[in-house]
Structure 1
Amino acid sequence: MIHFQSLAEDVLAGYTITEGEAMQILECPDDRILELLHSAYRIRKKYYGNRVKLNMIINTKSGACPENCGYCAQSRDSTNPIEKYRMMQKDTIVQGAEKAHQLHSGTYCIVASGRGPTNRELNQVTSAVKEIKEKYDLKICACLGILKPGQAEQLKEAGVDRYNHNINTSENHHDNITTSHTYQDRVATVNYAKRVGISPCSGVIVGMKETKQDVIQMATALKLLDADSIPVNFLHAMEGTLLEGTDELNPLYCLKVLCLFRFINPTKEIRISGGREVNLRSLQPLGLYPANSIFIGDYLTTAGQEGTKDHQMLEDLGFEVDYEGDQLPV
């Protein structure tokens, strides 16, 4: 029987866990969940102490996406009646940054639907970023899809600190989720951002009919990709999407997934992202023992928990808001 605390000590000493050990984490007996959480917390505390990083999303362009991602209400194949609109004007994006600042968010995430940004859309984003950087002490993460040559350089010049492009699932499971782009398209965009000096952010969506082996492969792929920030989303299946009605998760399994990502990516920011409210439910606070970051406010097409409740949760846990934003661990 695996001893999770000893495994945590090994990881802190530089050990890379095996696939077998990873599987034992995901298959941890429910009555040992506190032992597993405590062990993951030892790793988290080494690199992040009791600090929690807050992130806020603004959905600057909604719907009308030509991609066929099975989880997404903005997909071309989705019949979900979401609000659809073109790229927001610069002033609206800047106003969102003011709200992020008021909520003590260290990172403001500018997100847009679509395969990738047009030059006009990119100019609107970069113009907003420059103004935000002048007004607020915020880290900026952009999530605009697959980038074309020259676009990452423009984002870097404007002051974008981080670029998000999730791998979403394992390479083996990818074609079951979307066929309008490849897994390698996603990896290439993350690497492109890295090459121009933008911090890479890439994560996953768990609960999309993948196997536990797929989940292990996701966490390992992100280790190899050397993503600085790893958002872990838990599927909130939307009406009208390919995955409508999918409900494979429970709170304890979600906690095991978060612990797995901490064990495999010990030094990285692990962020509890979309779906935490509906999947972790009353166990949300426990997720911050392996993870060190959360989104506050709403997500792209689903509502999040009120920011005041998130701040209360952190206070009740004895955690501190990391006002340093997305500064990497030393």
Structure 2
Amino acid sequence: MPRARKLTKVLDMDDVLGGLARTALAREPIRRDAARRVLAGDDELLDVVAAGSRVRRQFFGRRVKLNTIINLKSGMCPEDCGYCSQRLGSEAEILKYTWVSPDEAAGIADRAVRAGAKRVCLVASGRGPHERDITRVERTIDAIKADRPDVEVCVCLGLLSDGQADRLRAAGAHAYSHNLNTSEARYGEICSTHTFADRVDTLERATAAGLSPCSGAIFGMGESDDDVLDLAFALRDLDPDSVPVNFLIPFAGTPFEGRWELTPERCLRILALFRFVFPDVEVRLAGGREIHLRSLQPLALHLANSIFLGDYLTSEGQPGADDRQMIADAGFTVEGLEEQSLPDARHDLVVLRRRGAGTDLPANA
């Protein structure tokens, strides 16, 4: 390539990435064509990460929030999500058990908090909870809060029905997690027992009940760039407080066991995209990071401000001591319980109405 053309391409790349960063720093929606550029691979990876890192530092500094998962009930799920080792028909050799006791869950939570976790995520397999399941979770939250009253408790129980989100909120749950997982257009390719709309409905129920909405995605299931973009923008419309980014763990014995298509670069570009789309929202590096990012995990901390500590639902994660060392080596610090997760500046988004009905000024329409 002639020198002049190379220089033009570099300047164009700087303009696009700089524009993305400026737009995100201003908390304005990024354009789809610019977002596509992040995934396309035309720009140098380190330049993409650097642009995303500017946004991450502005809103979250050098803090990394640690979260831990407690799998309250494992396996035997009636849903057929193709990525899941707990799915109907799964032949994965995972642990299978019914509900763990509140005391056992509280003990696991206590150890995690002592290791630095700020949020405890209570997860149970199944389509959705029965009323007795909600009661079990209420007792578990009570047991955890008895020793750790300040810890955030996030609950993930599948599809919610009337009143269940209110009960969880009243019990002391801070958040509800329900991922959209993939784009609406291809949702039927990964699951036939419920729909994309069902997932949106549950997240809206949780939000309406006052629970902090947590919803993200799983990548590595054959999605196109358009699928990634569709999902990112669909999530943005739901305005979640935290967005977990999972990378497929291709469990043997599941329909996706042969999918090993992700590279560390692809993962980092997806994380950068999510940082631009969700500049001041908790972007959490979640399942599959060890498998797919490998030695580039520390680089991902320049984009994500939150990670899972320890093991996942049915697979083992990197040892907690290694995670904490990685965070320190990369120049970051663990966010403490006394610190709020979202930046103070987020409250600036609330602007009191001073025009339209009841005023002398025209409405903004």
Normalised by the size of structure 2, how large is the TM-score?
A: 0.88
How big is the shift at 1:117? 1.3
**What is the aligned counterpart of 2:76 among 64, 80, 84?**
64
Tell me the equivalent position of 2:234.
221
Tell me the equivalent position of 1:2.
13
How big is the shift at 1:236? 1.1
Unaligned runs of 5+ in 2: 1-11, 345-365
Is residue 2:141 matched to residue 1:129? yes
Is residue 2:96 matched to residue 1:84? yes
Tell me the equivalent position of 1:258.
271
Paired AA for residue 33 in structure 1: L
Paired AA for residue 317 in structure 1: A
Unaligned runs of 5+ in 1: none
- Runs of 4+ in structure 1 displaced over 4 angstroms? none
Tell me the equivalent position of 2:360.
none
CA contact (8 A) 2:103 2:143 kept: no
Distance 2:19 2:91 in 1: 49
Distance 1:326 1:121 in 2: 30
How big is the shift at 1:11? 2.2
- SS of 1:284's equivalent in the other structure is helix
Distance 1:221 1:306 in 2: 34
How big is the shift at 1:326? 5.9
How big is the shift at 1:127? 1.0
Write out aligned runs for 1:74-223 (5 A): 74-136=86-148, 137-223=150-236
Is residue 2:341 matched to residue 1:327? yes
> Do the aligned partners of residues 326 and 220 (structure 1) sit closer, same or farther apart at CA in structure 2, a change above 3 Å counting?
farther
Structure showing greater Rg: 2
Distance 2:190 2:145 in 1: 36
Distance 1:26 1:326 in 2: 31
Is residue 2:295 matched to residue 1:282? yes
Write out aligned runs for 1:236-275 (5 A): 236-275=249-288
Tell me the equivalent position of 1:53.
65
How big is the shift at 1:291? 0.6
Distance 2:216 2:103 in 1: 29
Normalised by the size of structure 1, how large is the TM-score?
A: 0.97
- SS of 1:277's equivalent in the other structure is helix
CA contact (8 A) 2:236 2:278 kept: yes
Tell me the equivalent position of 1:11.
24
Alpha-carbon deviations, 1:213-253, whole Å to 9, x = none? 10011111111010110000001100011111101100011
Distance 2:128 2:167 in 1: 14
Paired AA for residue 250 in structure 1: T
Q: Which deviates more from structure 2 when the two are superposed, residues 286-295 or residues 76-85? A: 76-85
CA contact (8 A) 1:53 1:326 kept: no
CA contact (8 A) 2:246 2:288 kept: yes
Q: Which deviates more from structure 2 when the two are superposed, residues 93-102 or residues 273-282? A: 93-102
C-alpha RMSD of matched pairs (Å): 1.2
CA contact (8 A) 1:106 1:326 kept: no
Q: Share of identical aligned residues, percent?
A: 46
How big is the shift at 1:265? 1.1
How big is the shift at 1:37? 0.7
- SS of 1:60's equivalent in the other structure is strand
Distance 2:153 2:241 in 1: 14
How big is the shift at 1:99? 1.4
> Alignment length, in residue pairs?
329
CA contact (8 A) 1:23 1:216 kept: yes
Tell me the equivalent position of 2:307.
294
Alpha-carbon deviations, 1:58-92, whole Å to 9, x = none? 11100110000000010012111211111111111
Distance 2:145 2:13 in 1: 48
Distance 1:178 1:86 in 2: 24
CA contact (8 A) 1:2 1:24 kept: no
Distance 1:6 1:123 in 2: 49
- SS of 2:218's equivalent in the other structure is strand
CA contact (8 A) 1:160 1:198 kept: yes
